[in-house]
Amino acid sequence: MQERRPLAKDRDLIVALDYASGKEALAFLDLFDQGIFVKVGMELFYKEGPAILKAIKDRGHRIFLDLKLHDIPNTVAGGLGSLLDWDVDILTIHCLGGRKMIAAARGALEAAGKTSLLMGVSVLTSLSQEDLKEDLLIQGDLEEVVGHYARIGREAGLDGVICSAKELAFLREKLGEDLVTICPGIRPKGASLGDQTRVVTPEEAGRLGADYIVVGRPIRQAKDPKQAYEEMRKAFLGGQA
């Protein structure tokens, strides 16, 4: 096991820029005078490539590049090595790739001398206990599965995990505070769930101690996206906003 490095602990709301074009993503960012934290995922990155990362960084925003790498260790190390050229703040791999894959990813970061946070997707927030059992033949309790992946992941070199805020208390009890947590599946009271199943409100995520929350549709599809961003961020951060 590699020596643990000090973790860049911080708290913020990350907006998922799940737009079909860079033009739409940048139009959204033009609403903001100050740098915010954004997530670039498959939809935008596959369409626009690394140029969109540069455009976002040039505007002063922080980037969580969420491509959820999942392949054999050598391929993930190589893929991650290529992504490291873009100096983003946070990167993701799937814990389901196993300990060797996670260690290879950590190795790529160390070899490049980069300090981006390496985060592992535990169990997608769109999956329920029933999905695990019926579709994936995973019989364990969902919380236990998330806890197990987080432990393996941490031992193999992850800085933290992506999980639902519903699992945070369990994770903190099992693994302590030495784990960065990013929680998607955030919905204000009464909002449409879409494809998410394990959801909490921004206030609850704050109370439960998430380091970061990721919010997409409730902000992008709001009548006033900037106002929705500010309200949800304040709700999450409470007195710290």
In terms of CB distance, is 68 or 234 closer to ligand C5P?
Answer: 68
Question: Is residue 16 involved in binding ligand C5P (CB under 6 A)?
Answer: yes
The pairing of strands 12-16 and 117-121 is unpaired
The pairing of strands 90-94 and 62-69 is parallel
Amino acid of residue 127: L
In terms of CB distance, is 116 or 196 closer to ligand C5P?
Answer: 196
**Candidate ranges 3-11, 70-78, 101-109, 214-222; the one touching ligand C5P (CB under 6 A):** 214-222
**Candidate ranges 149-157, 173-181, 216-224, 227-235; the one touching ligand C5P (CB under 6 A):** 216-224
Mutual angle of helices 22-29 and 50-58, in 10-degree steps? 10
Question: Is residue 216 involved in binding ligand C5P (CB under 6 A)?
Answer: yes
Helical (H) or strand (E) element with 63 = strand 62-69
Tokens at 137, concatenated: 């033949």
Please enumerate in sequence order all residues whose Cβ is within 8 A of that of 113, keeping only pairs 6 or more positions apart, or say none: none
Question: Is residue 202 involved in binding ligand C5P (CB under 6 A)?
Answer: no
Cβ atoms 83, 65 nearer than 8 A: yes
CA atoms 48, 106, 103, 170: torsion sign: negative
Q: How far apart are CB 3 and ligand C5P at their closest, in Å?
A: 28
In terms of CB distance, is 39 or 233 closer to ligand C5P?
Answer: 39
Single out the catalytic residue among 9, 57, 68, 174. 68
Question: Is residue 160 involved in binding ligand C5P (CB under 6 A)?
Answer: no
Neighbours of 232 (CB within 10 A): 24
Question: Is residue 41 involved in binding ligand C5P (CB under 6 A)?
Answer: yes
Question: Is residue 214 involved in binding ligand C5P (CB under 6 A)?
Answer: yes
In terms of CB distance, is 107 or 230 closer to ligand C5P?
Answer: 230
Q: Which residue is nearest to ligand C5P (CB)?
A: 216
Q: Is 68 an annotated catalytic residue?
A: yes
Angle (CA) 3 211 75, round 5°: 50
Q: Which residues bind ligand C5P (CB under 6 A)?
A: 16, 18, 39, 41, 66, 121, 124-125, 162, 184-185, 194, 196, 214-218
Q: Give catalytic residues, as residue numbers.
A: 68
